[in-house]
Amino acid sequence: MEIPRRLIDLRRAVEAADNRYRSNSGENATVALAVWSDATAALAHGIAAHADETGVSYREVQSAVERAARLRAPVD
């Protein structure tokens, strides 16, 4: 299954936000948690839209996005 770059980027944004949240405390952690929540919601929406467009189940698209995000090196 071909995974759109935007979904891989969203998955990486969730990972980056999670890392920021875990490395902060206090008010910074609250802000980081909000960013993580927004990124997670955007990813879920993107996966659902792609699943609808392709007729593939949400779970299959989600797994494929996670694999693709791990396999493809980030572009600087």
Domain boundaries, the chain: 5-71
> CA-based angle 50:16:8, to the nearest 5?
25
pLDDT of amino acid 76: 40
Average pLDDT, the chain: 91
> pTM of the prediction?
0.86
pLDDT of amino acid 41: 98
Q: How far apart are CA 37 and CA 73, in angstroms?
A: 24
Mean pLDDT in residue range 38-44: 97
How would residue 72 be classed by pLDDT, with cut points 50, 70 and 90? low
Give the helix ranges, DSSP H, for 1-76.
Answer: 5-22, 26-54, 58-71
Find out whether 57 and 51 touch, Cβ atoms under 8 Å: yes
pLDDT of amino acid 26: 83
pLDDT of amino acid 29: 86
